[in-house]
Structure 1
Amino acid sequence: MKQHKKPVIALTGASGYIGSHLIEHLSQQGHVVALSRHGDDKQDTDHISWRSCDLFSLQDAEKGLKGADIAIYLVHSMKPGAKLTQASFEDMDLILADNFAKAAKRNGVKQIVYLSGLMPVNQSDLSRHLRSRLEVEKVLQYYGTPVTVLRAGLIIGPEGSSFPILATLVKRLPAMLLPTWTRTNTHPIALNDVLHAFVSVVDQERYYDQIIDLGGPEVMSYREMMFRTAAIMNKKRRLINVPVLTVKLSRLWVMLTTQYPKETVYPLIESLRHPMVADDSRMVAGVSDGRIGFEEAVQLALAEGSTTSRKTFSQMPLRPLVRSIQRVPLPEGASAKWAAQHYISWLAKACWPLLRTETRASETYVISLRWSSSPLLVLSFAKERSTTTRALFYITGGLFANVKESQRGRIEFRQVPGKQECLIAIHEYMPSLPWVFYKATQAKAHLLVMTLYKWHLMRFSAIKNQAFQSDGYLEA
C-alpha cells in the first residue's frame, strides 16, 4: 500500500453516516482503505479499497490498518450489533478505541483524526455521551500516535441521529412542551462544513496533537432550531416553555415520538443539558469556521431525506452472538493479567459448592460443576496475544459453548489505559443453550457473578492494599 505517492488513508465507519459522505472527498487526497464490518462485499475502485474489519478484535484492527499512513476514527457503539448485549456504550467505545490506538501504533500510523463532541466549560458533571467521547480522546492519544481531534456539536445532515430526531419532532408534533434544556445554547454545523474540516487537517503536520472545535455561523438554542426548522418545513408549530419535564422524561417522549431506538436517543438527549458552543481558543481559521448558514443546511438535509438513519437501524440484522462487558476496579499495583488469574481462583470459592475450576497444561482453564466431569466452559490462554495489560482467552469447549458455529468466542481482561480499572469482556460467544433459556438463566448468572467479583475487588482494594503490593501474582 505504501507504494502510492499519495498517503494511504484508513477510514473506519466508511459505510456509516459521516464516512459514506467523506470517502469520496478523501479519495482526492490519497488512496482510501475503507474499513467496514462487511467490507469484503463492497466493490473496490482505483482510489478506494474495502476491507472487512471488526474493531472489537485487536487482530482485525491490526490487519485493517496495515499499510496506512493516516487513520480516521468515526466509530461509536450506540447501536448494538449482537443479539444479546450486556454492556454500556461507554465500555464498548473504550474497547474499540483502545484496539484502534494500539493497532495504529503497531502499524506506524502518522496521524489519527477523530470526530468528538463539543465540550462544555464545566466538565465536572458530563453526560454519559460526552464523558465517553472525552475518554475515547484520551485513549486514542495514550500510545503516542499524533491525534487531531475535531469536536462538533449538532451536525445538520440527512442522516445520523441528532438533526433527524429534531426534524421528526417538528414534523409529527403540532405543539410541544419544551423543558429548560431546550433553551441551552448549542452550536450547529452543516455536514459539508464538517467534511471540509476533515479534508483540511488530514496529513497536515501542523494539526498533529491539536483539539479543534467546529461550529457554524450561528449559536442558538435547541428551541430556536425547532422553530426555524418548522418555518422551513412550512409547519405551524406551537412551542410552549415549561419549567418542569426532566431530561429523563424528555428522552422517553422523544423516543416514543420519533421511534428511534433507546440506545440512540437517551445519550443524545442527556447531552443537551450542557451548553455546547465552540471555544474561540480552540478554533482554527479555515478549519473551524463553518460557512453554511442554518437555513441552507436544513434545506439541504431535508432535500435528501431525514429518516434514513432510523430505517437503516431497524433493518440491521443482529448477529446471533453475545457481547458482555463489565468494568471493575483494579487494586493498586495489580494488572489485567493478575485480574484474570485471580478471577479463576476466586470463581471456585465464590460459587462453592456449585462450581470448581482447574488448570490444565498449556494454561487451559476448565470450569465445571463440582459433581460432573464434563466441563461447562474451557478457556485457552492466548499467550501470544496477551500482555500484562491484556489477558486473552479463547472459548474452546464446554457444554455452554457452541464452538462449531463460532470459532472466535473469547473472553479478555483489559486494563483501561491510564486507570486502575479493568474491562472484563466476552466477544463473539455463541451459547449452546436455546436463546430464551440462555437469557433467563446463564446470561443473568453471568451478570450476577460479575457484580459479585466487582464488589470483591472493591473490598479487596480497600482492606488489603498493602498485602497486594507483595502478592506473588502482581506484575512489575
Structure 2
Amino acid sequence: MHTLVTGATGFVGGRLVPALLDAGHEVTVLVRSPTGYDPPEGVRVVVGDLLDPDSIAAAVNGVDAAYYLVHSMSARDDFEARDRQAAANFADAASAAGVDRVIYLGGLGEDRDQLSAHLRSRREVERVLATGDYALTTLRAAIIVGARSAGFEMVVQLAARLPVMVTPRWVRTPCQPVAIDDVIATLVGVLDVPETAGETYDIGGPEVLTYAEMLRRTGRHMGREPIIVAVPVLTPRLSAYWVGLMTDVPWSVARPLIAGLKNPVVVDDDRLSRLVPIDPTPFDEAVRRALTARESAGVAP
C-alpha cells in the first residue's frame, strides 16, 4: 500500500516511517524542509507546508492511505486557527487526490470535562478531517512514553532534578500512558483491518496512573524517587513557569502541556484491542526503554 506520513520529522512520525517500510508499504513523507531529515532508503520526500494548499498536491498524488500527525504545540494565540486551516487544506487535497483512508492520532479526553485549549483543538481537527471524501480512522492517546515525547520528557526531567516537588492538584489526575512501540504497532496495524476505517478508538497502556505515580515510578528507574506534595494554590500558568524553570522544556511548550493535565485521559473503549491485538507494554518497561534510548542518544536527565 502507498502511504503518506505527515509530521515525519516528529516524535511519532519518525518511528512510523521505518515501521511502515518494514511492513512492506511504500512511503512518501511531507516535510516543510528537507534540511536535517535523513529519510530511510526508498522513502519519497515531498517538500510542502500544510498551510500552503498548492504545496500538498504532490504529496497526496497516488497515495492509498495517509497519516495525519501534525499538531501545534505552542502557546501562540493563533494555534487553533492554524491547526484548523492545516487540517482543512489536507482534507481538500486528500479528497481531490482520491486517497482512500486517513489515520489521525489525536488526544484522549471527554468533551464534558472542559478540555484544555489544545485538547479542544485536537478534537476540532478530528471534525475537520472527517469532512473529507475518505474513511477517517481516529486514534486517541494520552501521554506517549518514549524518548523525545514532550510530555514524558517533562516527567523525566522533573523526577531527575527535584527530590522534593510542591505541585498543583493535577498530579492526582488519572492518566493511561501508552508506550511508543504500542502506538506505532497500532498505527501500522489498522491499515490491515478494513473494519477500522471510519471509526474512532481510544488507545492506552495496561495501567491507569496518576501523574504523581508516573513521576515517582520514573524517578525510581533513575535511582531517585521524588517526594511529591500537592497544593491547591498553583495555577496552570504558574506551574508552566515552574516547569520551564526547572526543566529544558520551553515555557511555550510547558504551558499547553500543563493546561492539558487537568483533564482525565483514560481509555473508555477497548474495541480496537480485539481488532488489532498487541501485547501491551507495562509502564515500567516503557520507561526503561525510553530511558535507555535517551542514554544511547546522549541525552542527560
Compute the TM-score of the two structures, normalised by the length of structure 1: 0.59
The 3-state SS of whatever aligns with 1:284 is: helix
Matching of residue 244 in structure 1 with residue 233 in structure 2: yes
Where relative contact order (Cα < 8 A, 6+ residues apart) is larger, the structure is 2
Residue correspondence of structure 1 range 65-80 to structure 2 within 5 A: 65-78=60-73
- How far residue 281 of structure 1 moved from its aligned partner, in angstroms, is 5.7
Partner of 2:51: 56
Task: Give the partner amino acid of 1:114.
Answer: Y
Residues 236 and 255, structure 2, Cα contact 8 Å, conserved in 1: no
Per the TM alignment, residue 248 of structure 1 is displaced from its structure 2 partner at its CA by: 2.2
Name which of structure 1's ranges 168-177 and 249-258 shifts more when overlaid on structure 2.
249-258
Secondary structure of the equivalent of 2:291? helix
Secondary structure, counterpart of 1:149 in structure 2: strand
Aligned to 2:157: 168
Which of 262, 265, 268 is the aligned partner of 2:254? 265
How far is 1:261 from its partner?
Answer: 2.0
Contact 2:141 2:204 in 1 (8 A): yes
Distance 1:95 1:75 in 2: 12
Deviations 1:290-310 (A, max 9, x none): 6111111001001111898x9
Alpha-carbon distance between aligned partners in 1 of 2:275 and 2:223, rounded to the nearest angstrom: 34
Deviations 1:132-153 (A, max 9, x none): 0000000000123210001100
- Which residue matches 1:298? 287
Write the distance in 2 (CA, Å) between the matches of 1:128 and 1:56: 20
Question: Where does structure 2 lack aligned partners over 5 or more consecutive residues?
Answer: none
- When residues 43 and 241 of structure 1 are mapped into structure 2, their CA distance, relative to the original with a 3 A threshold, is closer
Q: Deviations over 1:138-181 (max 9, x none)?
A: 00001232100011000000002000111011111121012211
Q: Is the contact made by 1:190 and 1:290 (CA closer than 8 Å) also made in structure 2?
A: no
Q: How many residues align?
A: 298
Following the alignment from structure 1 to structure 2, what is the Cα–Cα distance between the partners of residues 180 and 286?
37
1:122 equivalent in structure 2: 112
Query: Structure 1 CA distance, aligned partners of 2:144 and 2:36?
Result: 29
The structure whose residues are more often strand, as a share, is: 1
Evaluate the alpha carbon distance shift between residue 130 and residue 44 of structure 1 in structure 2; reply closer, same or farther with a 3 A threshold: closer
What's the counterpart of residue 107 of structure 1? 97
TM-score of the aligned structures, taking structure 2 as reference length: 0.92
Find the aligned partners of 2:35 and 2:161 in 1 and give their Cα distance: 39
Identity of aligned residues (%): 37
Q: Which residue of 1 aligns with 2:243?
A: 254
Question: Which residue matches 2:137?
Answer: 148
Pick the structure with greater CA Rg.
Answer: 1
Give the C-alpha shift of residue 44 in structure 1: 6.1
2-side partners of 1:271 and 1:91: how far apart?
18
Contact 1:189-1:216 within 8 A present in 2 as well: yes
- Measured in 1, the distance between the counterparts of 2:157 and 2:35 equals 34
Output the CA distance in 1 between the equivalents of 2:132 and 2:71.
20
One-letter code of the match for 2:242?
W
Structure 1: how far apart are the matches of 2:225 and 2:120?
37
Work out which of the residue numbers 21, 24, 28 in structure 1 matches 2:15.
Answer: 21
Higher helix proportion, which one? 2
Q: Name 1:406's counterpart in structure 2.
A: none
Could you tell me which of 201, 206, 210 is aligned with 2:195?
206
CA distance in structure 1 between the partners assigned to 2:198 and 2:233 by the alignment: 42
In the aligned structure 2, how far is the partner of 1:206 from the partner of 1:224?
36
Q: Structure 1 unaligned segments of length 5 or more: list them.
A: 1-6, 81-85, 312-476
Q: Would you say 1:285 and 2:274 are equivalent positions?
A: yes
1:31 partnered with 2:20: no
Alpha-carbon displacement from aligned partner over 1:49-101 (angstroms, at most 9, x marks no partner): 11112111101112221111111011112259xxxxx7521111111111111
In 1: Cα distance, 2:150 partner to 2:177 partner:
13
Residues 24/78 of structure 1: CA separation in 2 closer, same or farther (3 Å cut): same
**Counterpart Cα distance in 2 of 1:217 and 1:55:** 35
Q: Note the C-alpha offset of 1:268.
A: 1.3
Which of 215, 228, 235 is equivalent to 2:204?
215
Distance 1:43 1:228, change over 3 A: closer
**Whole-angstrom distance in 1 between the partners of 2:7 and 2:263:** 27
State the 1:241 CA deviation: 2.4
Native 8 Å contact 2:185 2:278 kept in 1:
no
* 1:399-418 correspondence to structure 2 within 5 Å: none
**Aligned-partner SS, 2:105:** strand
* CA–CA distance in structure 1, aligned partners of residues 234 and 132 of structure 2: 43
2:177 aligned with 1:188, yes or no? yes
Question: What is the alpha-carbon distance in structure 1 between the residues aligned to residue 225 and residue 143 of structure 2?
Answer: 23
Could you say what the CA RMSD is over the residues aligned between the two structures, in angstroms?
Answer: 2.3
Q: 1:93, 1:245 → 2: CA distance?
A: 29
SS across alignment from 1:253: helix
Find the aligned partners of 1:204 and 1:48 in 2 and give their Cα distance.
24
Query: 3-state DSSP class of the match of 2:267?
Result: coil
For residues 251 and 163 of structure 2, the distance between their equivalents in structure 1, rounded to whole angstroms, comes to 23
**1:155 to 1:42, Cα distance in 2 relative to 1, 3 A:** closer
- Which amino acid in the other structure matches residue 90 of structure 2? F
Following TM superposition, by how much is the alpha carbon of 1:19 offset from its aligned partner in structure 2, in angstroms? Answer: 0.8
| 1:324-358 deviation per Cα after TM superposition (whole angstroms, max 9, x unaligned) | xxxxxxxxxxxxxxxxxxxxxxxxxxxxxxxxxxx
